[in-house]
Amino acid sequence: MIWTLAIFAALALAGYAALQIAIARNGPAVLDTVDRITSRAANIERMETVRFGEHPAQKLVVLRQQGLAPDAMQPVVVFQHGGSWKNGDPEDYSFIGRSFAPHGFVAVVTGYRLGEDGKFPAMLEDGAAALAWIRTNIAALGGNPDHIVLMGHSAGAYNVGMLALDQRWLERENVPFGSVRGVVGLAGPYDFYPFDSESTQATFGEFDDPDATQPVNFSHADAPPFLLVHGEQDTTVRARNSHALLAHLKSTGVSAQLLTFSEMDHTAPLLRLASPWRRDGEMHEAIRQFIANPQTSVPVQGKMR
């Protein structure tokens, strides 16, 4: 019996490790498939893909509860994917909708230009344009245009952090700054100059003012609350990025929290948003509470700073 349990445990660990490798390579589609098979969110509908610009990457997907009334006015969570600013497709992230829509939120996954077309500040221009579409149209889909929480993983966390801190991007699209009620950053890079990786050099290296690309340089008292999540085992984007942003936010009086998890690597926060891993609940519950009311503190067993 003991040997049988040991074998099953070893297989489970091997399967988990293999899945993490797949996610690191281009796992969102794989993760989305696993979530679709194992989750019980059968009443969640994915709306037709919306184009908010002429470029193929300028698209978004809305996911919500089926039959949601136009006057439901549910909080809106807007998610941007990672991928080193060179990979990713919002249509592979429907698990974000299945993760949050059952809890009374409208979820929107937004894309942005990548690679050569996506050099700074293209990703921020696209993020602001997507928010302009959301502000204009989300009420008809059951969402509250004045209660938008931005969330992103890795490069996506950078994008949403900058959108919430550097007001010029939303101003250019006539998006009221106050409509962004909060920001959730998962394993995000916020303080990475000088550019010392292939992806950061390709995306930011040609911009003539490197300091203007760094979220840590844009903290101000009018910024919305932040919930930062980082794994201490993250060797792709070091946790010092979140610690640095937390310090800058607090120095200007912004409400900010950092949840660190000793066992998490770079992909783990994304994994915890999908079934079956979100069932352990700790991180997911903290994010749900924050989306519902960003002004309140988030009780969680992970280390909070």
For residue range 201-231, list pLDDT tens digits in order: 999 999 999 999 999 999 999 999 999 999 9
pLDDT score at 10: 44
Average pLDDT taken over every residue of the chain: 91
Inform me whether the pLDDT recorded for 20 exceeds 90: no
% pLDDT > 70, the chain? 88
Identify the band that residue 272 occupies on the pLDDT scale cut at 50, 70 and 90: very high
pLDDT given for residue 7 in this prediction: 41
Q: In this model, does residue 8 exceed pLDDT 50?
A: no
Domains annotated on the chain, with CATH: 28-304 (3.40.50.1820)
| pLDDT at residue 99 is higher than 90 | yes
> What confidence score (pLDDT) does residue 106 get?
98
> Helix, strand, or coil here: 156?
helix
H helices present in 138-192, as ranges: 155-165, 168-172
The pLDDT of residue 18 is 65
Parallel, antiparallel or unpaired: strands 59-65 and 106-110: antiparallel
CA-to-CA distance for 210 and 107, rounded, in angstroms? 33
pLDDT one-digit tens code per residue, 26-57? 689 999 999 999 998 779 999 999 999 999 99
Residue 295 confidence (pLDDT)? 83
Count the helices and strands in the chain (H runs, E runs): 10, 10
What would the pLDDT profile of 150-203 be if each residue is shown by its tens digit?
999 999 999 999 999 999 999 999 999 899 999 999 999 999 999 999 999 999
Side-chain-side CA neighbours of residue 267 (13 Å): 18
Residue 304 has pLDDT above 60, yes or no: no
User: Which three-class secondary structure state does DSSP give residue 134?
Assistant: helix
Asked whether the whole model's pTM tops 0.75, one would answer yes
Q: How far apart are CA 123 and CA 287, in angstroms?
A: 24
Q: Are 28 and 88 in contact (CB under 8 A)?
A: yes
- Assess whether pLDDT exceeds 90 at residue 11: no
Q: What percent of the chain has pLDDT over 90?
A: 84
From the list 17, 287, 289, the residue with the least C-alpha distance to 152 is 287
**Region 113-142 average pLDDT:** 98
- Would you state the pLDDT for residue 6? 39
* Rounded (10°) CA dihedral 212, 214, 215, 219: -50
